Amino acid sequence: MYKIRMPEFLSPSAIKIFESDLEDYAVKYLLQKRPPRMPQTEPMAVGSAFDAYVKSYLHYNLFGNYGPEGRYRLDRIFEEQVEPHNRDYAKQAGRHCFSEYQSRGALADLMTELQKAIGPPRFEFSISGTIRLDEYEAPLLGKPDCYFTNDQGVRVVYDWKVNGYCSNR
């Protein structure tokens, strides 16, 4: 018989897997002895590379530096997030996605929004809370790509995706 554990928290990713494949959710989040994590795929690596390009650009252009100890230097974020077997492919693909994001004006729009923000935007951090339904509680944890309060006082969370970049369509 399998021994199960109580998850410490729910994340948006875990909830999505729960909704789409209950068995996969159980294997990834409930078993005490879980299988090793799947190696990073090319689509995952492209998303991580794009994330590195965007965060490095934003931090430098908003604050004039790459953060304490160069935390937001492109090469540093890239190497932390992209597994070695994907780096050659992901570096080019991530740069291409970033270039398209920039050329279509999305990056400029985001910069404008961030420059008007109340207080500095935050990158690379965890946010947690609890939701309640009747007598039940569920702890939540998320790791947004960018978080800030806009000029109207609304909290904004960005979680960049490059869905479809590696697809055949």
Which residues lie below 8 Å from residue 75, measured CB to CB, with a gap of 6+? none
pLDDT, tens digit, for every residue of 50-80?
A: 999 999 999 999 999 999 999 999 999 999 9
pTM above 0.95, yes or no: no
Mean pLDDT of 79-90: 98
pLDDT, tens digit, for every residue of 40-51?
A: 999 999 999 999
Closest CA to 160 of 144, 149, 147: 144
